[in-house]
A and B are shown apart, each in its own frame.
Chain A
Amino acid sequence: MMHHLPILQVIVPLLAAPLIALLRGREIAWLATFIVTGVTFVISLLLYYQVSESGARLVYDLGGWAAPLGIVYVIDAASALVLPIVTGIGFVVTLAARHLVTAEIDQRDHALFFTAWLLTIAGMLGQVTTGDAFNIFVFLEISSLSAYALVAMGAGRDRRALPAAFNYLILGTVGATFYVIGLGLLYMLTGTLNLDDLAVRLADIEQTRAAYMAMAFIALGLFLKMALFPLHFWLVPAYSFAPSAVAALMAATATKVSVYVLVRLMFGVFGIGFVGISEGLGTVLLTLGIIGAFVGTLAAIIETDLKKLFAQSSIAQLGYMAIGIGIMTPAGLAAAFIHLFNHALMKGALFLAIGVIGAQTGRATMRTIEGAGRQIPMTMTAILFGGLALIGVPLTAGFISKLYLIRALLESDFWVLAGLTFVSSALALAYVWKIVEAAWLKPRPEGAPDLYETPMMWLPAWLLVIATIGFGIFASPLINGAVQAAAVFFGGQS
C-alpha cells in the first residue's frame, strides 16, 4: 500500500470526481469531496514523511513499465514539499466551500461543481508528481479546463464571470499550446519525454537553435500559466469573478503549481549549465519579477474591490517568486520555494475571509467592509493577519519569505534589487492599512446590511492564519524542506 502512494495521490481525486457527478444529495456531494480531499492530504503528508525520512526519491513505474519507456511518477524533496501545500489548501478550502458554495452556486449544480473541483486538484497534483513531460501537459489541461468551468460558474451571481472565463480559456490554451510546441521540439531533438532522460540527452545537444526555441516556447507557456507580469491579464478578472471558494483555491495553489513546473522544466531538464537558462532566463525573470512586484503592489493600492486587490497583490507575490528563481542560486531557489509555500497559506486565508463577506454582500469592496471590524471581528482579523504576512511583518511567515529572498539577493550582490524588493514589500503596507482604516476606523454606514459570521465561516481562514503564524515562528522545518527542494535542482553542481 505504502508503495502505491505516489499514484494514489493523483488517482484518488481523479477517480472520485466522476463518481461525485452522480451524487444528487444536497450535502452528500460536499461530504464526499471533503473526505476525498482529506485522504489526499493524508497521502501527501505520508509521502512527505517518506521522502524526508529516507532522503531518497520515490519512483513509481506506471503499469510496471520502467523508465524511459513507461511513464514514471517521481516524488523527490521538491515535489514532496509542493504536494502537501496543494492538498492541504484543497482540504481547508473544501471545508469552507460548504457555506460558500451553498451561498453562491445553484443547488442543482453542486455535484458538477465539486466534480470540476476535484478534477482541478487532481490535475495540479498530477503536474507535481509526474516524471513525464507530456504527462505534465495532460494534467495541465485537466486542471485548466476544469478551472475554466469553475470560473464560469460565477456567472450565477455576476454575468461578467463569463467573459472572464472566456478570456482565461483563450489565454490559458495559448499558454498550454506554447508549452506543447516546445515539448514537440524537445521530442524531435531527443526522442524521449521522460524528464530525467531528457536531461541526460539534452546535455549532448543543448546549445542548438532548436533547443533554444524549445526553451523559449516552454518558458513562455509557463510564464503565462504562473501569471508572470505582463502575462497576467487572465488572472485578475478570473479570480475576481470566480465563486469565492474557487478564487481561494486557485489563488493559493494554481499559480504555485505552475511555478513548480517551470522550475522542474528549466532546472531539472535544461539545467543550470544551459546557457539560455543561466544568462537568458535569469535576467528575464529578475526584470519581469521586480516590475511585476511594483505594478501589482501599486495596482493593489488603488484597487477598491477586495478580490481584485488581492489578485493584484498575487501578481506582486509571484514577482517575488520569479526573482527568487531568477537569482539562479540554491539560496534563491530555496527562497522561491519558501515564498511559494507561505504565499499559498496567506492568500488562501485572505480569499477565504473575503469569501465570508462576498457570500453575504455579493462583492466585497472597500465600501461594504466599512465598519465591518466590529460586526465580523474574526473574519476581519484574519484579513489583517493575512495582510501583515503579505507585508512581511516579523512573526508571520511572510517575514521568513522576505528575509530569505533579500538574503539570497544580497549573497549574489544584487544590491539594487534587494532594495527595490524591500521597498515594494513595504508599499504593501498602504493597501493593508487602507483595509484597516475602512474596517475598524470608520463607522458602519447608515443603511448598510448587517454582516454576520459563525465559527464554521471563519474557522477555515483561521486555520490558515494560524499556519501562517506557526510557520513564521517555527520556520526551520519549512526552511530545511525548501533548501532540500532547491538542492534537487543543484545536485549536479558542486
Chain B
Amino acid sequence: MNSLLPTFLQIPGLLMVFGALLVPLLPHAIRQIWMLAIIAVSVWLCWGIAPGVHMTTQLAGLDLILVRADAITRPFALFFHIAAALNVIYAMHENVRTTATAGLAYAGAAIAALFAGDFITLFIYWELTAFTSVFLILISRSERSFAAAMRYLLMQVSSGVILLAGAVILWHSGQGLNVQALDASTLAGGLILLAFGIKAAFPFVNGWLQDAYPEASVTGTVMLSAFTTKLAIYMLALCFAGTEILIWIGAVMTLFPVFFAVIENDLRRVLTFSLNSQLGFMVVGVGIGSELAINGTVSHAFASTIYKALLFMSMGAVLHRTGTAKASELGGLWKRMPLTMIFCIIGAVSISSFPLFSGFVTKSLTIGSVAKEGYFVVWMILIFASVGALENSGLKIPYFSFFGRDRKFEVKEAPLSMLIAMAIAAGLCIAIGVAPQLLYGILPYAVEYNAWEAGHVLGEMQLLLFAILAFAFLVARGLYPPQIDSTVLNTDWLLRRLLPRLTMAIARPILSVWFTALQHAKKLVMDGLYIGERASQQTGLVSGVASTGAAAGIFLAVFALLLILLFSM
C-alpha cells in the first residue's frame, strides 16, 4: 500500500470518511473536484489489495483485523466506488453540503466495511453506514421524512446491535471474532444472519427499505440505493454461502415485492420494491453457494447497482423537474426530457434482461446455477420474478412517466450533471451487456458460462416478447386504465382486472397483524409509563424516595432475609 498516507488512512474507505469531514468547508466547485479526487485515490488503494489479511490491531484485548480481502472483495469495492463517483457527478448541480458530506462518508463507511476482517470492526462500520446515511433522508425536512428516518435508524441500529450480540456469543463459543463461514442453525450464526437479513431487506424485515428510501432527497435516494443492501449481500456471501434456507428466503424475496410494486403509485417506491426483488436473486445465489452461483451474485450485484442507480437517477431527474414522482400525475414527458427518457429506457431494458444489456449476462448466471442444482420451483419463481421486473421497472416506469397520457408539463431537460451521470451509467450497462468478459474477468471464479448460447437467447427473447405483446395488447384494448385515481394506490390492469383479490389477500393479513402488534406494543408501553409516572409522583420503590422510617423498615427486612438465607444454608 501507499506509504505516503498515514496508516489509518490506508484502511480502504476511511480516506473517504475523513475526506468527507473537509467537504463542508470547501466552496462548491473545489468540493466536487476534491470528492472525485478522493474517490479516485481510494479506488486505486483498494485495487492494490490482494486477498489476504493486511492490517491488524489490538483493542481492549481483542485482535481486530482492519483490512482483509477476499476473492469477492475487489468487484464489490470497484462498483461501490463507481456508484460513489456517479453519485457525486449526479449531485453536482445542487449545492447541499449535508448531502455531499453524508453521501461521501456513507460510501466510505460501506467500503471500509467490505474490508473488515472481524465482527467488531464490521459492527463499527455497520453502524457508521446507518448514522451517515440517515442524513440523506432527514435532508428532505418534512414530518414524513423525519418519521421515516427515525424508523430507518431504528432498524439499522437494531441490526447492528443484533450483529454485536451474535459476535459476542460467537466469541464466547471459542470461534473467534473473524469474519468466517457460519452455521445459521447456531445461536450466534442465527443472530448474525438476522442482522445481515435486516440490512438485506429479507421478507418481513424489508419495511424500512420501501419506507425510507423514497423519502430521501432526489440525490439522496440514488446514494442510498447502492450501498447498504449490497453490503449485506456481500457479508451474506462471505458468511453464509451455501446455506440452503437462503435459497427459499431469496425466492420469496424475489416474488412478493412484485405484487406490492404493482399496486404502488409512487414510481420511486416502485423502484424500491423492484430493488428488493433484485436482492432476492442475489440471496438465492448465495444460498446455492456454488462457484457459478457466487459469480452470479457478485456480477448481478455489480450490474444491478448500476442499472438500479440509473433508474433512480432518471426518476430523480423527473422529480427534480416536475416536482412529483407519482404515476397518476406523470405522463408524456418524452417530448420535454428526451435524453432522460432514453437513459431510463436503457436502465429499463437492462433490468429486464434484454440481450446486449447488462441484466442479460448477469441474471442468467444465477438462474443458470439454480437450474443446474435442480431447484425447479425456485427456478420457476425466479423466471416469474424476471417477468415481474420487466412489468414493474421495464414497462411501468418508462410508460407512466414518459409516455401514457400527456400531462403537458412545461419543463426543461434534466440538468447537465444529471445527464452526464446517467450517460455514464447507461454506457456501463451497455458495455457490460456487449462485452461481458469485462465483468467476468474480475469475478472470483473462472466463468465457463456462455450467455450467448442460442437456447438462452431464444428463451429470454420469447419471455420478453410475449410479455411485451401482452402489455401492448392490453394497452391497445384500453385495459390499461388511461386515467389513474391519485387517491388510491396505483391501480393498474393486473390488480384491477386479473388479480384483484389475490394481492390484497396476501397484503391485508400481514398489514393487520403488524398493525395490531404495534397497537398493542404502544398501549403496553404507554400503560407502563403511566403507572411509572404515577409512582414517581409519590414515594415508592421506583421513585427512589421514601420516608426515613419506611427506608429503615426496608433495611431491616432485607437484613432479616439475608439472615434467613445465610442460616438456611
Interface residues of B in 124-171 (CB under 8 A from A): 124, 161, 165, 168-169
With A407-B172, A476-B60: A394-B559 Cβ-Cβ less than 8 Å? no
* A-B contacts at CB below 8 angstroms, number: 109
Q: Of B324-332, B427-435, B540-548, which stretch is located at the interface? A: B540-548
Query: Are B566 and A212 interface neighbours, CB within 8 A?
Result: yes
Task: Report Cα–Cα, A308/B536, bound state, in Å.
Answer: 11
Question: Is A137 interfacial (CB-CB < 8 Å)?
Answer: no
Mask: chain A, 448-484; 1 = CB below 8 Å from B; 0 = not: 0000000000000000000000000101100100000
Query: Are B60 and A233 interface neighbours, CB within 8 A?
Result: no
Query: Are B562 and A394 interface neighbours, CB within 8 A?
Result: no
Query: Are B566 and A230 interface neighbours, CB within 8 A?
Result: no
Query: Are B123 and A280 interface neighbours, CB within 8 A?
Result: no
Which of B59, B168, B544 is packed against the most chain A CB atoms within 10 Å? B544
Residue of B nearest to A170 (CB): B548
Q: In the assembled complex, how far is the CB of residue A207 from the closest CB belonging to chain B, in whole angstroms?
A: 10
Q: In the assembled complex, how far is the CB of residue B3 from the closest CB belonging to chain A, in whole angstroms?
A: 25
Task: Report Cα–Cα, A232/B546, bound state, in Å.
Answer: 10
Question: Is B371 interfacial (CB-CB < 8 Å)?
Answer: no
Question: Is B551 interfacial (CB-CB < 8 Å)?
Answer: yes
Which residue in B120, B124, B552 is a CB contact (below 8 Å) of A170?
B552
Query: Are B544 and A232 interface neighbours, CB within 8 A?
Result: yes
Which residue in A212, A215, A400 is a CB contact (below 8 Å) of B60?
A400
Residue of A nearest to B160 (CB): A394
Query: Are A224 and B555 interface neighbours, CB within 8 A?
Result: yes
With A166-B548, A231-B554, A299-B543: A394-B168 Cβ-Cβ less than 8 Å? no
Question: Is B569 interfacial (CB-CB < 8 Å)?
Answer: yes
Question: Is A197 interfacial (CB-CB < 8 Å)?
Answer: no
Q: In the assembled complex, how far is the CB of residue B120 from the closest CB belonging to chain A, in whole angstroms?
A: 8
Question: Is B374 interfacial (CB-CB < 8 Å)?
Answer: no
Which of A170, A231, A237, A299 is packed against the most chain B CB atoms within 10 Å? A299
Interface residues of B in 180-207 (CB under 8 A from A): none
Question: Is B411 interfacial (CB-CB < 8 Å)?
Answer: no
Measured as residues with beta carbon below 8 angstroms from the partner, the interface class of chain B is 35 or more
Task: Report Cα–Cα, A303/B533, bound state, in Å.
Answer: 8
Query: Are B558 and A280 interface neighbours, CB within 8 A?
Result: no
Query: Are B562 and A234 interface neighbours, CB within 8 A?
Result: no
With A232-B544, A295-B541, A299-B544: A174-B563 Cβ-Cβ less than 8 Å? no
Question: Is B4 interfacial (CB-CB < 8 Å)?
Answer: no
Interface residues of B in 512-569 (CB under 8 A from A): 529, 532-533, 536, 541-548, 550-552, 554-555, 558-559, 562-563, 565-567, 569
Query: Are A233 and B554 interface neighbours, CB within 8 A?
Result: yes
Query: Are A167 and B60 interface neighbours, CB within 8 A?
Result: no
Question: Is B455 interfacial (CB-CB < 8 Å)?
Answer: no
Question: Is A171 interfacial (CB-CB < 8 Å)?
Answer: yes
Q: In the assembled complex, how far is the CB of residue B271 from the closest CB belonging to chain A, in whole angstroms?
A: 31
Query: Are B544 and A315 interface neighbours, CB within 8 A?
Result: yes
Residue of A nearest to B543 (CB): A299
B536 to chain A: which residues have CB within 8 Å? 299, 302-303
Residue of A nearest to B546 (CB): A233
Query: Are A233 and B544 interface neighbours, CB within 8 A?
Result: yes
Interface residues of B in 242-265 (CB under 8 A from A): none
Question: Is B61 interfacial (CB-CB < 8 Å)?
Answer: yes
Query: Are B548 and A302 interface neighbours, CB within 8 A?
Result: no
With A219-B562, A275-B569, A308-B544: A422-B165 Cβ-Cβ less than 8 Å? yes
Interface residues of A in 210-244 (CB under 8 A from B): 212-213, 215-216, 219-220, 223-224, 230-237
With A231-B555, A233-B551, A403-B60: A298-B172 Cβ-Cβ less than 8 Å? no
Query: Are A302 and B532 interface neighbours, CB within 8 A?
Result: yes
Mask: chain A, 418-437; 1 = CB below 8 Å from B; 0 = not: 00001000100000000000
A170 to chain B: which residues have CB within 8 Å? 548, 552
Which residue in B165, B544, B547 is a CB contact (below 8 Å) of A312?
B544
Q: In the assembled complex, how far is the CB of residue B333 from the closest CB belonging to chain A, in whole angstroms?
A: 39
Question: Is A372 interfacial (CB-CB < 8 Å)?
Answer: no
Task: Report Cα–Cα, A2/B540, bound state, in Å.
Answer: 51
Query: Are A220 and B555 interface neighbours, CB within 8 A?
Result: yes
Is chain A's binding surface mostly helix, strand, loop or mixed? Answer: helix
With A275-B569, A299-B542: A171-B552 Cβ-Cβ less than 8 Å? yes
Residue of B nearest to A209 (CB): B567
Query: Are A299 and B532 interface neighbours, CB within 8 A?
Result: yes
A410 to chain B: which residues have CB within 8 Å? 168-169, 172
Q: In the assembled complex, how far is the CB of residue A197 from the closest CB belonging to chain B, in whole angstroms?
A: 24
Query: Are B554 and A426 interface neighbours, CB within 8 A?
Result: no
A150 to chain B: which residues have CB within 8 Å? none
Q: In the assembled complex, how far is the CB of residue A477 from the closest CB belonging to chain B, in whole angstroms?
A: 11
Q: In the assembled complex, how far is the CB of residue B548 from the closest CB belonging to chain A, in whole angstroms?
A: 5
Question: Is A106 interfacial (CB-CB < 8 Å)?
Answer: no
Interface residues of B in 29-56 (CB under 8 A from A): none
Which residue in A237, A295, A394 is a CB contact (below 8 Å) of B545?
A237
Residue of B nearest to A280 (CB): B566
Q: In the assembled complex, how far is the CB of residue A170 from the closest CB belonging to chain B, in whole angstroms?
A: 5
B551 to chain A: which residues have CB within 8 Å? 167, 171, 231, 233-234
A224 to chain B: which residues have CB within 8 Å? 555
Task: Report Cα–Cα, A414/B65, bound state, in Å.
Answer: 29
Question: Is A322 interfacial (CB-CB < 8 Å)?
Answer: no
Task: Report Cα–Cα, A384/B60, bound state, in Å.
Answer: 23
With A403-B60, A422-B165, A476-B61: A230-B542 Cβ-Cβ less than 8 Å? no
Question: Is A27 interfacial (CB-CB < 8 Å)?
Answer: no
Task: Report Cα–Cα, A4/B13, bound state, in Å.
Answer: 54
B124 to chain A: which residues have CB within 8 Å? 394-395
Question: Is A361 interfacial (CB-CB < 8 Å)?
Answer: no
Query: Are B566 and A236 interface neighbours, CB within 8 A?
Result: no
With A174-B555, A475-B60: A298-B544 Cβ-Cβ less than 8 Å? no
Query: Are A235 and B569 interface neighbours, CB within 8 A?
Result: no
B558 to chain A: which residues have CB within 8 Å? 220, 223, 230-231
Question: Is A109 interfacial (CB-CB < 8 Å)?
Answer: no
Which residue in B58, B168, B544, B548 is a CB contact (below 8 Å) of A171?
B548
Mask: chain A, 386-416; 1 = CB below 8 Å from B; 0 = not: 0000000011000010010011001100000
Task: Report Cα–Cα, A475/B64, bound state, in Å.
Answer: 14
Question: Is A283 interfacial (CB-CB < 8 Å)?
Answer: yes
B58 to chain A: which residues have CB within 8 Å? 476
Task: Report Cα–Cα, A470/B550, bound state, in Å.
Answer: 43
Question: Is A205 interfacial (CB-CB < 8 Å)?
Answer: no
Q: In the assembled complex, how far is the CB of residue A245 from the closest CB belonging to chain B, in whole angstroms?
A: 21
Query: Are B545 and A284 interface neighbours, CB within 8 A?
Result: no
Task: Report Cα–Cα, A99/B546, bound state, in Å.
Answer: 32
Mask: chain A, 272-292; 1 = CB below 8 Å from B; 0 = not: 000110011001100000000
Query: Are B165 and A212 interface neighbours, CB within 8 A?
Result: no
A166 to chain B: which residues have CB within 8 Å? 548
Question: Is A311 interfacial (CB-CB < 8 Å)?
Answer: yes
A400 to chain B: which residues have CB within 8 Å? 60
A406 to chain B: which residues have CB within 8 Å? 168
Task: Report Cα–Cα, A166/B522, bound state, in Å.
Answer: 41
Mask: chain A, 76-100; 1 = CB below 8 Å from B; 0 = not: 0000000000000000000000000
Kindly list the 7 A-B residue pairs having the minimum CB-CB distance in the complex, ordered from nearest: A236-B544, A233-B551, A302-B532, A475-B60, A233-B546, A410-B172, A280-B566
Q: A213-B563, A283-B565 are in contact. List 19 more A-B contacts (CB 8 A).
A: A174-B555, A212-B566, A216-B563, A230-B541, A232-B544, A233-B545, A233-B551, A280-B562, A280-B569, A298-B532, A299-B544, A302-B532, A302-B536, A302-B542, A303-B536, A315-B544, A394-B124, A406-B168, A479-B61
Chain A contact residues, CB within 8 Å of chain B:
166-167, 170-171, 174-175, 178, 209, 212-213, 215-216, 219-220, 223-224, 230-237, 275-276, 279-280, 283-284, 295, 298-299, 301-303, 308, 311-312, 315, 394-395, 400, 403, 406-407, 410-411, 422, 426, 473, 475-476, 479
User: What are 27 pairs between A and B in contact, CB < 8 Å?
Assistant: A167-B551, A170-B548, A171-B548, A171-B552, A209-B567, A213-B563, A220-B555, A224-B555, A230-B541, A231-B555, A233-B545, A233-B546, A235-B544, A237-B545, A276-B566, A283-B565, A299-B542, A299-B544, A302-B532, A302-B533, A308-B544, A312-B544, A394-B120, A422-B165, A475-B60, A476-B58, A476-B60
